[in-house]
């Protein structure tokens, strides 16, 4: 209950910023930026916020992952307050749609919760003249398993049980497998209504990677962006799944923790086989992400996550959202703005915003390589 109260406090600040659909934030208050704002002017730094605007100017279209929407809301608002004359237009849709838009050349960068596939890298070479698309890890965090079950304030599940729930094999909340993990809980004889994403989603793919790795006997599906299992109910975007779970008693779904905190949705503790079940928190997700290894080559910084961790306090259902850019051949008209904005999001100030928004900062060792790569973009 203490965690829920803490989450509600976080949600109060975050909820004021959350906006559905495309994010189009204008650089408001430019008349009030007399104390050092030099956005779009010769690489100077905004004195109030330490944002280095460089030669950023005009509009920067971007799209993709809805997982990072709440983080992008915060980043864009702060960045544009510090860099007048710049408009960050991030359309929160899905990882799949973001990659398509990037490879069609209609955005300056894309957000994806899964690294580019080899065929997507090959397609990117048509847009990245002399280069290719690369993955820059920018946002980490737990994939929360949210639930709505009247009278049940605490719930623990493990990977096999989750796999059976989402595969339609466990149909009632008082099933013996759930009861065994929740001794003493008054579980109702009520049907389970499981919600999943309707569109291609990196969040779906990361959940599939967890279930396939941690419950291979119970989850036989390939980890793809498209929801693979029969049954269940579909909703659009993480916001859509969260909205359904919020409204429907007896429901369960998956989405980034920021959606749970902003809407006060209860989340499942995960039994990993360790001494105690692990709560979905930014701190616990950071423990899992810190063990990730870079598997990308060259300037690509795609990560290999361990979904089967049993380390004490490490929350295993995590994702990392990548910003997809060209290593070479970025559009000349948006290159300076892309570098300036991503330098801010990867910087100390940008990363510090993540925890209170329900996300996990990228580990320092990995993040230092992200900053080096951003500086080298051309």
Interior/surface letters 61-73, b for 16+ CB within 10 angstroms, e for the rest: bbbbbbbbbbbbb
Check: CB of residue 282 under 8 Å from CB of residue 355.
yes
Residue 224 has pLDDT above 90, yes or no: yes
Residue 207 has pLDDT above 50, yes or no: yes
What backbone torsions phi and psi does residue 103 show, to the nearest 5 degrees? -75, -10
Hey, how many other C-beta atoms are within 10 angstroms of the C-beta on 221? 14
Tokens linked to 125: 């070479």
| Residues in contact with 52: Cβ distance below 8 Å, sequence separation at least 6, in sequence order | 43, 44, 45, 46, 340, 343, 344
Tokens linked to 76: 């864009």
| Residues in contact with 22: Cβ distance below 8 Å, sequence separation at least 6, in sequence order | 89, 90, 91, 92
Q: Please, what is the average pLDDT of the chain?
A: 88
The pLDDT confidence band at residue 355, using thresholds 50, 70 and 90, is confident
Residue 38 has pLDDT above 60, yes or no: no
The end-to-end CA distance of the chain, in Å, is: 49
Residue 18 has pLDDT above 50, yes or no: no
Q: What is the CA radius of gyration of the chain?
A: 21
Q: How many whole angstroms separate alpha carbon 165 and alpha carbon 126? A: 42
Tokens linked to 308: 């089967």
Answering whether pTM is above 0.75, one says yes
Q: How many whole angstroms separate alpha carbon 276 and alpha carbon 249? A: 27
CA-to-CA dists, residue 367 to 109, 156, 343, 344, angstroms = 18, 33, 11, 12
Confidence at residue 49, expressed as pLDDT on a 0 to 100 scale? 62
Residue 41 has pLDDT above 90, yes or no: no
Q: How does pLDDT run across 144-170, given as a tens digit for each residue?
A: 999 999 999 999 999 999 999 999 999
Q: How many whole angstroms separate alpha carbon 224 and alpha carbon 215? A: 16
| Residues in contact with 123: Cβ distance below 8 Å, sequence separation at least 6, in sequence order | 103
Q: How does pLDDT run across 277-291, given as a tens digit for each residue?
A: 999 999 999 999 999
Of 28-32, 171-175, 269-273, 317-321, which gets the smallest average pLDDT?
A: 28-32
The pLDDT confidence band at residue 126, using thresholds 50, 70 and 90, is very high
Higher pLDDT, 200 or 270: 270
Confidence at residue 280, expressed as pLDDT on a 0 to 100 scale? 97
Confidence at residue 12, expressed as pLDDT on a 0 to 100 scale? 38
Q: How many whole angstroms separate alpha carbon 146 and alpha carbon 123? A: 36
| Residues in contact with 285: Cβ distance below 8 Å, sequence separation at least 6, in sequence order | 140, 141, 142, 257, 315, 318, 360
Q: How many whole angstroms separate alpha carbon 207 and alpha carbon 221? A: 11
Confidence at residue 50, expressed as pLDDT on a 0 to 100 scale? 79
């Amino acid at each position: 209950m203490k965690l829920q109260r803490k989450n509600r406090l976080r949600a109060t600040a975050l909820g004021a910023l959350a906006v559905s659909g495309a994010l189009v934030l204008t650089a408001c208050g430019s008349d009030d930026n007399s104390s050092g704002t030099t956005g779009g002017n010769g690489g100077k730094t905004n004195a109030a916020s330490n944002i280095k605007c460089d030669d950023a100017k005009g509009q920067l279209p971007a799209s993709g992952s809805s997982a990072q929407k709440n983080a992008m809301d915060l980043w864009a608002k702060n960045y544009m307050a510090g860099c007048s004359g710049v408009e960050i237009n991030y359309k929160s849709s899905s990882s799949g749609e973001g990659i398509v838009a990037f490879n069609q050349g209609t955005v300056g960068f894309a957000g994806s919760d899964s690294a580019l596939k080899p065929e997507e890298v090959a397609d990117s070479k048509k847009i990245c003249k002399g280069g290719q698309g690369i993955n820059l890890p920018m946002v980490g965090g737990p994939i929360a398993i949210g639930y709505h079950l009247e009278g049940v304030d605490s719930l623990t599940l493990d990977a096999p049980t989750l796999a059976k729930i989402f595969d339609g094999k466990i149909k009632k909340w008082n099933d013996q497998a759930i009861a065994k993990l929740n001794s003493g809980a008054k579980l109702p004889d009520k049907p389970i209504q499981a919600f999943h994403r309707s569109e291609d989603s990196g969040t779906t793919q990361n959940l599939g990677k967890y279930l396939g790795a941690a419950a291979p006997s119970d989850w036989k599906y390939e980890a793809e962006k498209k929801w693979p299992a029969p049954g269940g109910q579909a909703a659009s975007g993480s916001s859509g799944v969260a909205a359904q779970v919020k409204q429907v008693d007896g429901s369960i779904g998956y989405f980034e923790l920021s959606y749970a905190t902003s809407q006060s949705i209860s989340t499942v503790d995960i039994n990993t086989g360790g001494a105690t079940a692990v709560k979905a928190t930014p701190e616990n997700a950071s423990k899992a992400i810190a063990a990730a290894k870079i598997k990308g080559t060259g300037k690509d910084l795609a990560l290999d996550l361990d979904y089967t961790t049993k380390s004490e306090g490490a929350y295993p259902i995590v994702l990392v959202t990548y910003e997809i850019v060209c290593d070479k051949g970025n559009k000349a008209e948006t290159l300076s703005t892309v570098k300036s904005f991503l330098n801010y999001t990867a910087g100390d100030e940008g990363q510090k915003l993540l925890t209170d928004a329900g996300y996990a900062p990228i580990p320092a060792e990995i993040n230092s390589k992200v900053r080096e790569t951003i500086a080298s973009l051309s």
